[in-house]
Structure 1
Amino acid sequence: MTTSTSLAGLAARLAEASCVKGPFDLTDGEQLDSYFDEYRLAADPALLRDTAAAMADLVPDDAQLLAGIELGGVPLVVALSAVTGLPAVFLRRSPKGYGSRRQIEGAAINGRRTVLVDDVVRSGSQLFTMTNTLRVAGAAVTDALCVLERPLGGRMLLAEHRVTLHSLLTEADLSGPRAGDAS
């Protein structure tokens, strides 16, 4: 999916399926009138497939591994892995308290060039934290992908830490009411 017409069509489908009128409370105390519900995206197989296909164009050519952040990034990274053929890892916000006790599950990292995948980026703090987690584990992280970028400083924070953000859409690309996020 490389034409602007097909991306505009995907944006309209995402807005219709996933932009929900609020109110919605964010962890930082902010309240949104509407938000982007990534679970509605993940629950629609055709929309998830088409979103992953569009995001595949954003994956750097030298990427070796995809890393999805719980919870919204996991279905995206699974679909993107299927489209690109790249292996995936799954990141918890904190290590599991039982069983494997791991924070990172899936393919071996082994110094591979890893691309972070998440649904929505606002401040970038979650991607920044997961970048550090992956780097400590030995991954080379220089890029991150998201479906929706809200212009609230995330791109700048990541750039300060040598991570380039590639967003499929920005808030302005979605028609209708202000689209926030459920992250």
Structure 2
Amino acid sequence: MDHDTLARQIDSLCRLEGEFVLRSGTLATEYFDKYLFESDPSILRAVAEQMVPLLPPDTDVLGGLELGGVPIATMLSSLTFLPVTFVRKEAKTYGTGRLAEGRDVAGARVTLVEDVITTGGAARAAALALRAQSAHVSTVVCAIDRSPGAETPLLDARIEIRSVLTLADLDQARLARRR
């Protein structure tokens, strides 16, 4: 599936109209439900296929961020045969007490996998936590980069963002659908 078709499909599937209460508590008449593309196998696969060339060639392990990055990282692992670790928002307080489940990251070059990046907070926290476990983290690949304008929200943490789609791509897809 080409880039523009993917943008149109994701936008038409995930952009909902109605009445929604946002995390901030404000009301909105439009909502972007990212889990709708992640739960559609053909779109999930198309996103992962477009992520493959974005992966740094020296990637040892894919780091799927809880929750939205997990299905994408799993599909990406299936396509590339790279091992995966699933990175929690917080370490478990029981059992192994791990922050990352799956492949050990000590000494590994980990490429983070995320669904949507807006402020980069989850990716930053995951990178810092994995670096504390001796992982090398310098890149996050995401399905959609929604960071405003020309901002690079992870620059201060020395993390490059590589995205399949941007907010501008989705806005352009929405405008094309309305014509």
Same fold (TM > 0.5): yes
* Aligned position for 1:9: 5
Of 168, 174, 177 in structure 2, the residue corresponding to residue 176 of structure 1 is: 174
Q: Which structure is richer in relative contact order (CA contacts within 8 A, separation 6 or more)?
A: 1
- Which residue does 1:102 correspond to in 2? 98
For structure 2, the 5+ residue unaligned runs are none
* Unaligned residue ranges in structure 1 (runs of 5+): 178-183
Aligned residues: CA RMSD: 2.0
Q: Indicate the residue corresponding to 1:181 in structure 2.
A: none
Q: State the shift of 1:42 in Å.
A: 2.0
Shift of 1:147: 0.8
2:46 is aligned to 50
Match of 1:92 in 2: 88
Q: Deviations over 1:109-147 (max 9, x none)?
A: 131111111111111111111110110011100100111
8 A Cα contact 1:148 1:169, kept in partner:
yes
Task: State the AA in 2 paired with 1:13.
Answer: Q
CA contact (8 A) 1:123 1:157 kept: yes
Normalised by the length of structure 1, the TM-score is 0.85
The correspondence of residues 72-151 of structure 1 with structure 2, limited to 5 A, is 72-151=68-147
Give TM-score scaled by structure 2 length.
Answer: 0.87
The range that moved more, 60-69 or 12-21, is 12-21
Aligned residues: 172
Asked if structure 2 preserves the Cα contact closer than 8 Å seen for 1:147 and 1:168, the reply is: yes
